[in-house]
Structure 1
Amino acid sequence: MAATGGASSTSPLLAGPPVMRRRRTAGGATPAQTLGNIVVSIVGTGVLGLPYAFRVAGWLAGSLGVAIAGASTYFCMLLLIQCRYGLEAHDDEETGDATHIQSYGDLGAKAFGTTGRYFTEFLVLIAQAGGSTAYLVFIGQNLSSLFTNTSHSTIPPSAFIFLLVLPLELLLSFIRSLSSLAPFSAFADACNVLAMAIVIKGDLQLFDRFSLERGAFNGIWGLPFAGGVAVFCFEGFSMTLALEASMTDRRKFRWVLLLAFIAITMVYISFGIFGYLAYGDETKDIITLNLPNDWSAIAVKVGLCVALVFTFPIMMHPIYEIAEMKLTSIQWFQKFRCNAYGERLCLQGARMLVLLIVAFIASSIPGFGAFISLVGSTLCALLSFVLPATFHLLLMGSNLKLWQKAADYLILLVGLSFAGYGTYHALTDRHN
């Protein structure tokens, strides 16, 4: 999710292959701009949980898990693009009708009708809520760590969530224009890069403690945990079709996407290895918690928390929209709203209620690493692997070669197994 770092937006429909050019307008994004947008959409705070995932699985097993998760996610993103091209080209040739596949939900509707659209968008919504919850957990735990050494008793993360973050988010929920909040998303990405740089600097200062013999492989049962974290870090499926449509030359998208995934995978693996080898079994579920409370570490923690406070409303925006849409469709709401002021008051109340629910969930989560592994191995696995393979089989099945069908079935089975075990592991093995 950005994984948890980028903001969704509505992108224009752009020029694609020849069969689609007569009904799409040209996009303005260059390959370099698209590369940057991909990185912003994928890289988020989840990366700070990778060293802990490497601690659970081992540095070698974790590296393999990240590489496999990256390659699989890239392949499944291409499946979505193939489905879009196939559907639009087929409808043009057979019926002459103009089919517009703009979102993940559109593919769900093509595969399973209205139920498919609702189910797909529901998964995207819950995954978005999971990313928003992770923001609050991250902020609470980092702020709590700043006061560990300054008092006899540690202030719990939930206190910061309810007494500091929640009031600020309630005020920010009154802002309905994403353009007013968008600059803070770039600030958050800059803070993520700065945090990673300072963490790696701290790791290198402990270079004499590095040992490649330290936990290369910590058991097969640690792999699903690390895989869940890795999938969470790579999740960005809700933006795939929009990013591809934003390019002036859409034929170059797969190569731009490949370059982005190679670079991100290398950064993820390096970050996870350095963090785990530096701190070993003392590696915390958020690597910034391992940093000493000196000025640079404090600046990183505070900067990340401030940035996430202002990007949290962007993460919550799709959830707000859906809650308001459902509220306005209820008959009693339509009956009792008397004026524009009363309607706005009710809609704002819905936003506040959603915020309270997310805050209560975040305050009950014991660990950042275990939570993002759960979200990654369940919701993100369904969105990243199960649905793309299913859509590809149903929508493109008659045109697929035998090896393509075999690959889809393999991804489907592995994705379902991964999601099932991830849920079981998170609910039964709480020490992580």
Structure 2
Amino acid sequence: MAILQDNEGSLNAMSINSKNDTNKFRKNPYPGEELAALNESPATPYDPHAHRNIEHPTTNTETLIHILKGCLGTGILAMPDAFKNSGLIVGTVGTFLIGILCTYCLLVLIRCQYEICKRVRKPIISYPDTMKYALLQGPPFLRFATNLSAPIVDGFLIAYQLGICCVYTMFIAENINKVIYDTWHYEMDTRIYTLILTPLLIAITLIRNLKLLAPFSQAANFAMFLGLGILLYYIFQEFPSIGSVNFVGSPIRYTFFIGTTLFALEAVGVVLTLENNMKTPKSFGGVTGILSVGMSTVTVLYVIMGFLGYVKYGEKVYGSITLNIPETILARLVKLIFAFAIYITYALQCYVPVDIIWMFYLKERFTKRENTLLIQYGLRIICVIITILLAIAIPYLNLFISLIGALCLSMLGITFPALIEICILYPNNFGKLNYILLKNVILIIIGIFAGVLGTVLAITDIISKSQS
């Protein structure tokens, strides 16, 4: 559940160090100093790592632990359903390939951010402004998008974060519904439970001082790992033969597998946060760096959960494997444990879109008003209501996970990093036979194809289920 803390941290880390510069740059998209810095080679080399003023930097070990905690969220509970869409062999191989792809693209993004920081002589810049700075020096035919780039990246980040909040809302509602049904055999539409959650979600989201949530977040982390341990206990009871499930799924369903796996594995906010707050950031990248080690471990854990969960429950596996475990007191406790963990971290996840919208789009207009605090609270309530309405309108947990993964993470995690590297290396640093350019063009095509096809199929399936 640390993914939520880390996402919040990523915004704070970037905000504290560069928010003033970012606001200035977004107001004036072609500042002379920035353009000069992009095109000059100063006599004195600039090392962004040496100029980062971090109050409490993390060690390599702490960073690795954060990666492991940050990537082990609700996505791991959806991996058996992802394997159902792909088949056992395709799911296993595909998860490893997607893990390698995600790790590589994140390494590219970090490397490009570091290069831009060197050129503009700033210790840290945000993801949206990385795109903007890159387009300023990229191919001329792309520069028309400079003014739109930051809002587009912000839009995907906001959509992704609000999408996660929708997934969390549905997850809580479905698990509570299952516990009540298993205990008292009282069945009610999950959307009603979603609606009932509204005041509780608003209450926790209105806590502006996130330090107050820190003890609860640690409890959520513990609950998550405890719940995973109990899940494995149930999975290994009367474990069936591997031959009882499909080894290769229907190709038309592969996009759902890709979307779910991207949702589970991709962690742009976490990665940028951790690199920005490391004591020795040079240890983060590389084949044997902290990121590669952490993502490799996470990928293996996702393969294990997807493999075992799919073999155990087969085609009957739900969007969250917690809904498959039997009707026992311990099983009900597990569902409540996960529901508690997700509820606590909902506030941290919702903090991210609220902060982006307020800092970059509303603060300048409303900061001098007497009711500024009331407006901020109103923004938080609106974000919660949006997630509630979406969760009620689309009450299909597995399809929503695939939709968010395909729509947002194919762009944020694959397409944008490849585009940024093209712009950074333009016009003549693409290696022999322009292999770097070719590689990035292929990544952009893969990202766009996966995003468009996955989104269309997910929406089609959602409409089909709604009409049935």
Of 190, 195, 220 in structure 1, the residue corresponding to residue 251 of structure 2 is 220
Aligned partner letter, 2:283? K
% same residue: 26
Gaps of 5+ in 1: 92-96
Does residue 296 (structure 1) correspond to residue 330 (structure 2)? The answer is yes
Deviation, structure 1 residue 60: 1.1
The one-letter amino acid of 1:128's match is Q
Q: What pairs with 1:5-404 in structure 2 (closer than 5 Å)?
A: 6-9=6-9, 10-11=12-13, 19-20=47-48, 23-25=51-53, 28-89=57-118, 91=119, 98-112=121-135, 113-151=146-184, 153-163=186-196, 165-207=197-239, 209-212=240-243, 214-254=245-285, 255-325=289-359, 326-330=361-365, 337=369, 339=370, 342-397=371-426, 398-401=428-431, 402-404=434-436
- Matched residue SS, 2:199: helix
1:52–1:285 CA contact under 8 A, matched in 2: yes
Per-residue deviation at 1:324? 4.0
Query: CA shift at 1:48, angstroms?
Result: 0.5
In structure 2, relative to structure 1, the CA distance for the partners of 1:322 and 1:23 (3 Å cut) is closer
Check the 8 A contact 1:35/1:256 in 2, yes or no.
yes
Does the aligned pair in 2 maintain the 1:137–1:365 contact within 8 Å? no
Quote how far apart the aligned CAs of 1:49 are: 0.8
TM-score norm. by structure 1 comes to 0.89
Cα gap change, 1:106 to 1:183, in 2 (>3 Å) = farther
Supply the AA of the counterpart residue of 1:107: T
In 2, the alpha carbon distance for the partners of 1:363 and 1:419 equals: 24
Residue 28 of structure 2 aligns with which residue? none
Q: Give, as a single letter, the amino acid of the residue that structure 2 aligns with 1:188.
A: A
> Are 2:159 and 2:408, in contact at CA under 8 Å, matched by a contact in 1?
yes
Partner Cα separation in structure 2 for residue 405 and residue 35 of structure 1: 31
| Deviation larger for 321-330 or 177-186 | 321-330
Could you give the per-residue CA deviations for residues 318-355 of structure 1, whole angstroms, max 9, x where no partner exists?
2223444544555xx689x5x3xx44333323322221
Q: What's the offset of the Cα at 1:221?
A: 1.6
CA distance in 2: counterparts of 1:140 and 1:80, whole angstroms: 36
In structure 2, relative to structure 1, the CA distance for the partners of 1:334 and 1:214 (3 Å cut) is closer
Q: How many residue pairs align between the two structures? A: 416
Q: Spell out, residue by residue over 1:349-384, the C-alpha distance to the aligned partner (whole angstroms, 9 max, x if none).
A: 332222112111112223211110111011111100
Alpha carbons of structure 1 residues 4 and 206: separation in structure 2 relative to 1, 3 Å = farther
SS at match of 1:377: helix
Q: Which ranges in structure 2 are unaligned for 5 or more consecutive residues?
A: 18-44, 136-145
- Tell me whether 385-394 or 214-223 shows the greater mean CA deviation: 214-223
Matched AA of 1:352 = I
SS of equivalent to 2:121: coil
Confirm or deny: 8 A CA contact 1:2 1:234 kept in the other structure. no
Alignment partners' CA distance in 2, 1:220 and 1:3: 31
What secondary structure sits across from 1:205 in the alignment? coil
CA contact (8 A) 2:284 2:290 kept: yes
Mapped contact 1:111–1:395 kept (Cα < 8 A): yes
Secondary structure at the aligned position of 1:154 is classed as: coil
Shift in Å at residue 21 of structure 1?
Answer: 5.2
CA contact (8 A) 1:161 1:363 kept: yes
Q: CA deviation at 1:151?
A: 4.8
- Contact kept, 8 Å, 2:6 with 2:269, in 1: the verdict is no
One-letter amino acid of the counterpart of residue 400, structure 1 = F
Q: Give the superposition deviation at 1:265.
A: 0.8
The answer as to whether partners of 1:103 and 1:242 remain within 8 angstroms in 2 is no
Counterpart-to-counterpart distance in 1, 2:49 and 2:76: 38
TM-score, normalised via structure 2 length: 0.83
CA contact (8 A) 2:166 2:387 kept: yes
Counterparts in 2 of 1:350 and 1:28: CA distance versus 1, 3 Å: closer
